[in-house]
Amino acid sequence: MKNDVNGNECGWEGQGQPVARTLEPISVRIATAVKLTGICRSTIYELIGDGTLETVKIGRSTFILYPSLKRLFERS
């Protein structure tokens, strides 16, 4: 498999059109989760508090595990 100019893996699919394959993040910060989902910051913290969103704390930073953020919308 080859890489495009940005270093992303790309392959060929369908009618010979190149398709870029990007990696999903492992985790995102709270502010990024707010931007990605449109859910307000306080609701994000409520979802963390009730265990709906899984987090990892590294130093003073809180990271939301990306798969748990995706599951939130798969349930809806």
The C-alpha atoms of residue 37 and residue 65 are separated, in whole angstroms, by: 14
Q: What is the DSSP letter of 5?
A: T
Length of the chain: 76
* CA 23 to each of CA 7, 9, 65: distance values in angstroms, whole numbers, following the listed order: 11, 9, 14
Q: Are 75 and 69 in contact (CB under 8 A)?
A: no
Give the single-character DSSP code of 7. Answer: S
Q: Which pLDDT tens digit goes with each residue over 14-51?
A: 556 666 778 899 999 999 999 999 999 999 999 999 99
| 2-16 pLDDT tens trace | 565 556 665 655 556
The token pair that represents 44 in the structure block: 């994000």
